[in-house]
Structure 1
Amino acid sequence: MAMCGVYRDALIWVLLLQASWALVGGQVRYSVPEEAKAGTVVGRLAQDLGLEAGEAEARRLRLVAQGRRASVEVSGASGALVVSSRLDREELCGKSAPCALRLEVLVERPLRVFHVELEVTDINDNAPVFPAARKNLSIAELSTLPGSRFPLEGASDADVGANAQLSYSLSPSEHFALDLQKTEEEGESLFLVLRKPLDRETMPFHHLVLTASDGGRPPLTDTVELVISVLDANDNAPQFNQSVYKVQLPENSERGTIVFIVTASDLDEGTNGNVSYSLQNLFPQDGRDVFGIDRNSGEIQLQGDLDFEDVGVYRLQVDAVDEGNPPLSGHCKVVVEVLDVNDNAPEVWVTSLSVPVPEDAAVGTVVALLSVSDRDSGANGRVRCSVWPAAPFGLVSTFAGSYSLVLREALDRERVSEYEVEVRAEDGGAPPLRASRGLRVPVSDVNDNAPAFAQAVYTVLARENNAAGAELARLWARDPDEAGNGRVSYSVSEGGGGASVSGGGWRPASSYVSVDAESGRLWALQPLDYEELQVLQFEVRAVDAGEPALCGNATVQLFVLDENDNAPALLPPVGGGPGVGASGSAVPGALWAWASWGAPAGQVVAKIRAVDADSGYNAWLRYELWEPRGKGPFRVGLYSGEVSTARALEEADGPRQRLVIVVRDHGEPARSATATLSVSLVEGAEAALAAAGSSGSGLRPAEGGASAESTTTTTTNVWLVVAICAVSSLFLLAVVLYGAARWAPRAAVLSGPGPATLVCASEVGSWSYSQRQSRSLCLADGAGKSDLMVFSPNFPPPPGPAAKETQPEAPTLLQTPKHPNPDWRYSASLRAGMQSAVHMEEAGILRGGPGGPDQQWPTVSSATTEPEAGEVSPPVGAGVNSNSWTFKFGPGNPKQGGPESKKQTQVSFLLRRKGESSQYSQ
């Protein structure tokens, strides 16, 4: 503590002495470091000038400006001298030392002037500075010796004193060192000294850093980059980085393609390092024009076309020469490998072809030998072969590049007569290339198909009395084979059929018809007679000309259609008598009968019997009374032929009546016969005696009529029961046939062309007739036919060429199912009754009317009220030797209204005598 007090007292004493000196001398000195902050107190100016507190402001103490703005000012309140702005010694004094500023201070009241000296002391605020940040030097390689000195320019420092004392250092280098020399005359001299020879190729540039440091605390530094360029000498030859270069080039490369760029490096520079290139071919020798090289850049370009298949590898030599003196050179080799490109499509050759191929050739038969090749290599040259279409041929690889075209499936010339086979080859390139070779493989015919008719059974309709040589139909058998194997000849099979004639004999079919061997036309050898022959069934044989010959058969059913070529024939009375003209009496066609006086109206006196050898409508007879005209005492039943009294007989009628009766059929045109009946009018006893004496004389007394009529009725009823049973059987058969036809495939339903068939029925019976041609079978004259039914039993013919082949021309050739068995027969007694023209008078089925009894034809029918019920009705008539049955399937009840009631299916059957054919239509 004592020591501190001593120092404090000494400091106060010094200050007092300084103040006293200042007041005595009139000048005050202060010191302040440069870069002092604004507001820093330099000194207590008012106190140092001896002014009291507060007096500095009262007396207006201030600095006097001396031309430039001072960096200090006087604080008005305290009178202290403070720093007002930045002080920079280097700016105020430069390199001068020391740096003192002289200031004048003015005090008013009274006015006095004081001189104040302010010294600005230096601080190390300036670093050394080199003249440039980079210094370039050039030194030649090899020729510059170690120890060579190169002068450098030193750095400068704006500070003074120790802050401006500089020292230098050099970055580490094995080639260079730094030398600093100080003399009084020249001052400091700085040198760069070469310690080791330079090699430009090893290091063309040397980068050194020269650092200058001042003596401040802390020291400040500056650096300069020394860039030393080593000057070149031609001491290096051009060098390639490889002695051999390998290049791959696709063969489809275009001209001008850059193959490769070679670069030779020359460590020298300038002209010593300028390299030029040249090219020469080593292999092949004739490939000089394929490649070229740019002399300056070393760029090898393609100048010609490449073909891998010709040259696969090129060997080139490249020379590089510099421009030094003397010039130096280097060499390298370039091997160009040409890559294969899939630019060659496969090639297919047919080395052997064995055609035509028989259609019966065995599977595995070799048809052709093929050879396949591809000039490309690798995957581009691997070829895959296939055949199109895939059947019936296939490819079998025998060895590399060779294939056999073999048969994989059985052939059928009738299905395919010739094959266009394409053998396709495809290589394994990307994208693949393809080639193909077409082969025409014809198939030779073998007689493996027999002639086949379009139908197994042909139904032919022919009218009787046709001209000899008339064409009946045309048959056609198809044989898909060709040439002689498909040439068909036709013939009527011997023993294959015939017909039984009405006399009980048998005649072969060849006596009636003949078939043309080439065209298959069926001819009639003679006119046909329905009354002799109704159905002729035979076989036609078709034989081809192959080896061995094959044949096919077809059955022909020839139905003879009746023509109205027979007039009605009058039959003699039962037992004969003198009055029968048909038996050779004196009066042809004359009949005798007796009637008693006073006989009531409606009494039968006689019956006219007649028969017609024709059938159907042509045999349906009607009886008309021609004479006497007007109101005579007798009348004739229209269909029964019974002569009865129209009124009671009187004496005025005379003893004898002559009646002329015409018997007419329903044919077109109608044919007729005339019968003359003489009726004698006698007393009742005489008439009875005459009837008892000669029951077959043609007289029909009323007394004997009832007994005969009763006997005949009993017989007829028995046969009617038989007929009803037959009808029921036919109905069931028709239902079965209808179901089979309905559910059978459409192709099996064959029918010939033709419009609807008319079926007519009259009030006295019903009659139906089914025929494929368009014919009207409904007669207008006679009794009115009130119920007219129209139906079409035909189905449309199957479309396509088969229908045309089946029926080329003949309109009478029908495509229908097989005809029913010709042995269908009706009751023998009923047939006999029809043929004998009994006219059902024995049955006593008479209907009385205003004019007398009328004949009523017996019918058998059944009907129900069910919508799906059927109806069958057979007509029975005198003089008709065939019967037709009509079946109606579906809603046949007339009480069932609506459109559905019209949907009916009718099946008609035509029944004939034994030995005749039974025709049905569906």
Structure 2
Amino acid sequence: VLYSGQGTKHLLLSVLFLAVWEAESGQVHYSVPEEAKHGTFVGRIAQDLGLELTELVPRLFRVASKGHEDLLEVNLQNGILFVNSRIDREELCVRSAECSIHLEVIVDRPLQVFHVEVEVKDINDNPPVFPAAQKNLFVSETRALDSHFSLEGASDADIGANALLTYRLSPNEYFSLLVPTNDDQVKPLQLVLKKPLDREVASELLLVLQATDGGKPELTGSTELHITVLDANDNAPVFDKAVYRVKLLENSRNGTLVIRLNASDLDEGSNSHILYSFAADVSSNPEAFFRIDSASGEIKVNGKIDFEETKLWKLQIEAVDKGNPPMFGHCTVLIEILDINDDAPELLVTSLSLSVPEDATLGTVIALIRVSDRDSGANGQVTCSLIPHVPFKLVSTFKNYYSLVLESALDRESVANYVLVVTARDGGSPSLSTTASMSVEVADVNDNAPAFAQPEYTVFVRENNPPGCHIFTVSARDADAQENALVSYSLVERRVGERALSSYVSVHAESGKVYALQPLDHEELELLQFQVSARDAGVPPLGSNVTLQVFVLDENDNAPALLPRPGAGGAGGALSELVSRSVGAGHVVAKVRAVDADSGYNAWLSYELQPAAGGARSPFRVALYTGEISTTRTLDEADSARQRLLVLVKDHGEPALTATATVLLSLVESGQAPKASSRVLAGAAGAEAALVDVNVYLIVAICAVSSLLVLTLLLYTALRCSAPPTEGACGPGKPTLVCSSAVGSWSYSQQRRQRVCSGEGPPKTDLMAFSPSVPDSRDREDLQPATGESLSKVSFKYPLFNLNF
């Protein structure tokens, strides 16, 4: 690299410097001279960082530098770091002995951060400069030999050897130059009188003072010394010390006294009156920060004193008397600025990904954080912390650099968003801190299956419902978000007997509404149990099932059916019986039997005797609930030999359904019906013995079943109060209780039942009981069960309750 100055090209100290690694930090160092041309090679940064050239662009290779982004650049094709724009070390680091550019090299996939230091080497591009091109000195001819006259030295913006100045005075016979040694640089240059002056011989002298720096090539600067030889005032002011050293706290208030100077003059009168002032100094502007009292010599604070801007002030003070010509004295005041903790730490957050999947692995880097503090010492030592109780932590990766990483597992359903507060605190007393907030969103993954409020629902539907009737709505909630929470419903297909479940019910995929596809028949299906599946739209999808128990409630859709009595005579389905005219009142002569395919209240039958034709009063009556036909009085000769009775059998449904039974009774003399009488007496005796045994067991069973019934009703009521309504659109109202009558009897209905939940099961019989009414011997003829009937079908008189066998 060639440097052009004053029309002549000079070769710089070096073209490039080798990159080395520091073992203790892993940091790459390069060096580059200031004023290097655009494109100057700095180093093979990709190779030195161990990166392949082909991965620079895919991995988003980038270089960042706070405040110096345009000085250096990297060629992504060859991985070379080169100079992009002019680098002026004096502008970049002023007079600091060390000057470096800190680069942050960041690559993604996976994330890596490298730190590169590029040292800017000084070149001798600044010549020495004097405060003024000409210096006027007034020297009395009476000055003694070896008198000293202070001069302001030159300053050089460079550093090191490039700023090491040597002085040379133009040849003359009167004055020599006294240059302070390197250990005493704070002392000024001095002219030393080596030959007495004679104003009459030489009233003015013109000397040239030249300063040369130690750079290669060396640069020079000069000033002209215009010396006027005067008479009279031959003593200059003299300070107590040549150098004053003072310590001052930064941020001292205006008007704070820094130092009071004292200079003396051996002259008398006006020649001994001294005025103080700042000497000209090109390296600083003391008047903006300090002021000096010209009469007292007090130096006070006049502006903001900032340690971070200037750590040491070097003030050149000049004392001049009022002689004619005036005489001057000089001293140096060194003011050391003491740091106080007045700068809070600075936080810079570089967000890499502020949306973190809830299944992210531990150690995932979320953001990069850089802290800095302009103070020094303990005041500039910064520690970084994170608010507690969050699943993240800060990891120190380099000096004043931290990584925000995932420390523990995330759950979006518990916390969907975290607001993190990072606090940077320095070591000052009292300490200062800075906080920065960032929001980290937890992205959802499909880790929650749809959940139903209950594992099982009970639904009541009246039979004979219209096809397509809505009977229930299932609803499942998914704790995930967006498509992971989008739930669809379907039936868990199975067989119901010989048919598929889907022929009975269907479920809407989006709304969860369950529909009955065909009319349900309580006599065929009393319980339909099936499962509905809820599945979300996540990948992979998750699901769960809920069980629906659909009870088909009975409607009164079956009329009573008459049963023929085995061995009974008659034609055309009529019941025929022989009745002796000798029987007394209340004698049972026949019994009508009927069943109802319905259940419960709809199967409770009652019997009524229709009035005879012509309004004649019949000597017979029928029991309301047993169907037994008995005499109301003693038969006589006036009664017709053939009695035709019409018995109306009616259930208790709404509306009630009926059937009509015809009973033909033939009245005969007592000797003509011996078989019938013996059969009735034998049956009555057997029934009475059987009834005594049955009553004991039945009372015990009634007590046990009643207790169980009460407990079941209490439990069912509690569950219904705590659970949401489960009736469908076609569901019935409240069940109707059947009350016992004064007569009381057993009534039964037998029909085929199918256990829908399992597809199998024995037939069921509904049993209704009424309050007991023990019959007399005349009413016991037909208590013996008919051939082929079970005991559960026999009619007894006990309080009403329903039993399913």
Give TM class, smaller chain: 0.5 to 0.7
The percent identity for this pair of structures is 48
Corresponding letter in the other structure for 1:707? A
Return the alpha-carbon distance in structure 2 between the equivalents of residues 534 and 520 of structure 1: 23
RMSD over aligned CA atoms reads 4.7
Q: Which digits, 9 at most, give the CA deviation of each residue in 1:91-143, with x for residues without a partner?
A: xxxxxxxxxxxxxxxxxxxxxxxxxxxxxxxxxxxxxxxxxxxxxxxxxxxxx
Q: 1:475 to 1:825 in 2, by over 3 A?
A: same
Residue aligning to 1:777: 736
Residue aligning to 2:585: 601
Residue aligning to 2:804: 912
**Could you tell me which of 594, 605, 627 is aligned with 1:621?**
605
Q: Which digits, 9 at most, give the CA deviation of each residue in 1:531-559, with x for residues without a partner?
A: 00111122222233333332212222211
Q: 1:514 to 1:621 in 2, by over 3 A?
A: same
Residue aligning to 1:80: none
Q: 1:776 to 1:470 in 2, by over 3 A?
A: closer
Q: What is the CA distance between 1:774 and its match in structure 2?
A: 5.8
Return the alpha-carbon distance in structure 2 between the equivalents of residues 749 and 371 of structure 1: 61
Residue aligning to 2:681: 706
SS of aligned partner of 1:618: helix
Q: What is the CA distance between 1:670 and its match in structure 2?
A: 2.2
SS of aligned partner of 2:524: coil
Which aligned pairs between 1:181-580 and structure 2 lie closer than 5 A?
241-264=240-263, 275-280=274-279, 282=281, 284-321=283-320, 331-388=330-387, 390-495=389-494, 498-500=495-497, 506-575=498-567, 577-579=569-571
SS of aligned partner of 2:673: helix
Q: What is the CA distance between 1:636 and its match in structure 2?
A: 1.7
Q: 1:542 to 1:715 in 2, by over 3 A?
A: farther
SS of aligned partner of 2:278: strand
Return the alpha-carbon distance in structure 2 between the equivalents of residues 750 and 852 of structure 1: 50
Matching of residue 653 in structure 1 with residue 645 in structure 2: no
Return the alpha-carbon distance in structure 2 between the equivalents of residues 736 and 337 of structure 1: 95
Q: What is the CA distance between 1:522 and its match in structure 2?
A: 1.2
Return the alpha-carbon distance in structure 1 between the equivalents of residues 298 and 583 of structure 2: 151
Corresponding letter in the other structure for 1:775? K
Which sections of structure 2, spanning at least 5 residues, go unmatched?
1-232, 745-754, 784-791
**Could you tell me which of 667, 677, 694 is aligned with 1:681?**
667
Q: 1:666 to 1:732 in 2, by over 3 A?
A: closer
Q: Which digits, 9 at most, give the CA deviation of each residue in 1:573-592, with x for residues without a partner?
A: 1245324xxxxx1xx6x433
Residue aligning to 2:656: 670
Q: TM-score, normalised by structure 1?
A: 0.52
Matching of residue 846 in structure 1 with residue 774 in structure 2: yes
Return the alpha-carbon distance in structure 1 between the equivalents of residues 355 and 719 of structure 2: 37
Return the alpha-carbon distance in structure 2 between the equivalents of residues 684 and 824 of structure 1: 55
Corresponding letter in the other structure for 1:708? G
Return the alpha-carbon distance in structure 2 between the equivalents of residues 560 and 717 of structure 1: 38
Q: 1:337 to 1:281 in 2, by over 3 A?
A: farther
Return the alpha-carbon distance in structure 2 between the equivalents of residues 728 and 779 of structure 1: 19
Which aligned pairs between 1:759-778 and structure 2 lie closer than 5 A?
775=734, 777-778=736-737
Q: 1:660 to 1:546 in 2, by over 3 A?
A: same
Residues 273 and 323 in structure 1, CA contact (< 8 A), matched pair in contact too:
yes
SS of aligned partner of 1:311: coil
Corresponding letter in the other structure for 2:602? N
Q: Which digits, 9 at most, give the CA deviation of each residue in 1:185-230, with x for residues without a partner?
A: xxxxxxxxxxxxxxxxxxxxxxxxxxxxxxxxxxxxxxxxxxxxxx
Q: What is the CA distance between 1:336 and its match in structure 2?
A: 2.4
Residues 348 and 437 in structure 1, CA contact (< 8 A), matched pair in contact too:
yes
Q: What is the CA distance between 1:773 and its match in structure 2?
A: 7.3
Corresponding letter in the other structure for 1:846? V
Q: 1:651 to 1:617 in 2, by over 3 A?
A: same
SS of aligned partner of 1:685: helix
Corresponding letter in the other structure for 2:774? L
Residues 460 and 732 in structure 2, CA contact (< 8 A), matched pair in contact too:
no
Q: What is the CA distance between 1:369 and its match in structure 2?
A: 2.1
Corresponding letter in the other structure for 1:567? A
Aligned length: 550
Corresponding letter in the other structure for 1:517? A
Q: Which digits, 9 at most, give the CA deviation of each residue in 1:603-625, with x for residues without a partner?
A: 10111111111111111112222
Residues 472 and 514 in structure 2, CA contact (< 8 A), matched pair in contact too:
yes
Return the alpha-carbon distance in structure 1 between the equivalents of residues 441 and 549 of structure 2: 42
Corresponding letter in the other structure for 1:412? D
Return the alpha-carbon distance in structure 1 between the equivalents of residues 509 and 536 of structure 2: 11
Q: 1:670 to 1:610 in 2, by over 3 A?
A: same
Matching of residue 591 in structure 1 with residue 575 in structure 2: yes
Corresponding letter in the other structure for 1:704? R
Q: 1:325 to 1:547 in 2, by over 3 A?
A: closer
Residue aligning to 2:32: none
Return the alpha-carbon distance in structure 2 between the equivalents of residues 405 and 509 of structure 1: 56
Return the alpha-carbon distance in structure 2 between the equivalents of residues 651 and 456 of structure 1: 74
Corresponding letter in the other structure for 1:572? P
SS of aligned partner of 1:653: coil
Q: 1:656 to 1:733 in 2, by over 3 A?
A: closer
Return the alpha-carbon distance in structure 2 between the equivalents of residues 425 and 324 of structure 1: 61
Q: What is the CA distance between 1:721 and its match in structure 2?
A: 7.0
Residues 357 and 441 in structure 1, CA contact (< 8 A), matched pair in contact too:
yes
Return the alpha-carbon distance in structure 1 between the equivalents of residues 363 and 324 of structure 2: 84
Corresponding letter in the other structure for 1:637? A
Return the alpha-carbon distance in structure 2 between the equivalents of residues 541 and 278 of structure 1: 96
Return the alpha-carbon distance in structure 1 between the equivalents of residues 775 and 691 of structure 2: 17
Which aligned pairs between 1:101-140 and structure 2 lie closer than 5 A?
none
Q: Which digits, 9 at most, give the CA deviation of each residue in 1:48-85, with x for residues without a partner?
A: xxxxxxxxxxxxxxxxxxxxxxxxxxxxxxxxxxxxxx
SS of aligned partner of 2:635: coil
Q: 1:456 to 1:434 in 2, by over 3 A?
A: same
Corresponding letter in the other structure for 2:557? D
SS of aligned partner of 1:647: coil
Q: TM-score, normalised by structure 2?
A: 0.59
Q: 1:855 to 1:324 in 2, by over 3 A?
A: farther
Residues 684 and 782 in structure 2, CA contact (< 8 A), matched pair in contact too:
no
Residues 605 and 702 in structure 1, CA contact (< 8 A), matched pair in contact too:
no
Q: Which digits, 9 at most, give the CA deviation of each residue in 1:433-472, with x for residues without a partner?
A: 3333333333333322222222222222111111111111
Residues 884 and 911 in structure 1, CA contact (< 8 A), matched pair in contact too:
no
Q: What is the CA distance between 1:364 and its match in structure 2?
A: 1.5
Corresponding letter in the other structure for 1:296? A
Q: 1:527 to 1:823 in 2, by over 3 A?
A: closer
Residues 389 and 422 in structure 1, CA contact (< 8 A), matched pair in contact too:
no
Return the alpha-carbon distance in structure 2 between the equivalents of residues 727 and 244 of structure 1: 122
Residues 825 and 912 in structure 1, CA contact (< 8 A), matched pair in contact too:
no
Residues 845 and 855 in structure 1, CA contact (< 8 A), matched pair in contact too:
no
Residues 416 and 441 in structure 2, CA contact (< 8 A), matched pair in contact too:
yes
SS of aligned partner of 1:676: strand
Residues 496 and 759 in structure 2, CA contact (< 8 A), matched pair in contact too:
no
Q: 1:362 to 1:309 in 2, by over 3 A?
A: same
Return the alpha-carbon distance in structure 1 between the equivalents of residues 736 and 529 of structure 2: 27
SS of aligned partner of 2:556: coil
Which of these two proteins has the greater Rg computed from alpha carbons?
Answer: 1
Residues 239 and 264 in structure 1, CA contact (< 8 A), matched pair in contact too:
yes
Return the alpha-carbon distance in structure 1 between the equivalents of residues 733 and 245 of structure 2: 99
Q: 1:739 to 1:259 in 2, by over 3 A?
A: farther
